[in-house]
A = this chain, B = another copy of it.
Amino acid sequence: MAAAPSKQAYVPFVSVAHMMQLVHHIGVERFMADLAAEIEEDFRRWPLFDKTPRVASHSQVGVIELMPTSDGETYGFKYVNGHPSNMSRGLQTVTAFGLLADVATGYPLLLSEMTILTALRTASTSAMAAKWLAPKGAKTMALIGNGAQAEFQALAFKTICGIGEVRLYDIDPAATAKCARNLSGRGIEVICCTSASEAILGAQIITTVTADKQFATILTDNMVGAGVHINAVGGDCPGKTELHHDILMRSAIFVEYPPQTRIEGEIQQLAGDHPVTELWEVIAGRVPGRASAREVTLFDSVGFAIEDFSALRYVARALKDTGLCEQLDMIADPDDPRDLFGMVMRAG
């Protein structure tokens, strides 16, 4: 038999079960607050990162994407799919996993489930952006679309932005009931609504997080009053939008990475040179965020690789001394690196 591989040949792997345990170990709200801080730090040093629009493989029923980035020391990527039709088969619309690697050697450092982690980082990113863009003192959020992402959004906005009331609406009342049930007893007032118009009553923040792959109009122009912040999460691939064009025309639009958002976000409805502001520039203090109390701000969020990178790095750090990972024998490690063949043969 071959000698046991060296320590470097093993890659720590965070399974779904371990990720859930890690969330409970830290607490779901604190997890999202910590993660928002981690993402914010990386937005501050945004120019440092390698950036590329995600690498997408489209089919008639969905998309599979790779989202790589690097800060020069650490490399990360996420594998993620988007298959709206999965729900009717009892499968997740979005599943994901990701990896961190050492730029100096190319060796993997961490492999992790990211279905749960993506849900957490998406909500953390939304709430972090709202902290910079929403009107001061916002207390009420409309939450339109009550699927897999909804509770994470509600709790992230509670913890990070101080939201005290969420007004739920979904075309399927069962989704709203599920969301309300999950949020009960968590220190946030939950109002179940029967229309989008009812949900937005009195809301300073409107979050749209629906899942249909079609040009939808979850919000029409007359529904959006002065001073509102819109957190548009569900429009995140070509052909999938949630907001009426006229809302976009009178909003100050903030995005993650324009080359990607122009393909995937709400602004795919606009001319390619329509002015947008990169969120990182607001956070880094280079440009102002919200200009006035009456301005409509829009975070046209599609999810960017750097947020996943931040999330994986946070998990790698949070894991320490918890034992919440396995060691995968994923890297071939011959004693003599030129003797890969000999290693294979000696294993016989």
Contact = CB atoms under 8 A, between A and B. Distances in A.
B341 A152 contact: yes
Q: How many copies does the complex hold?
A: 2
A102 B1 CA distance: 36
Interface string A316-333: 000000000000111111
Given A55-B55, A83-B106, A342 B182 contact: yes
Interface stretch (A12-20, A130-138, A237-245, A248-256): A12-20
A91 to B, nearest CB: 6
B16 A332 contact: yes
B101 A64 contact: yes
Interface in A293-344: 328-334, 336-344
B59 A72 contact: yes
B101 A339 contact: no
A148 B106 contact: no
Nearest to A82: B106
Interface in A99-129: 99, 101, 103-108, 113, 115-116, 119
A43 interface: no
22 contacts: A8-B91, A15-B330, A16-B329, A16-B331, A24-B347, A55-B66, A61-B103, A62-B106, A64-B68, A64-B103, A81-B105, A82-B106, A92-B332, A92-B337, A93-B337, A95-B107, A97-B108, A97-B330, A146-B338, A148-B334, A148-B340, A149-B340
State the 5 A-B residue pairs at the shortest beta-carbon distance, nearest first.
A81-B106, A151-B341, A115-B332, A20-B347, A15-B329
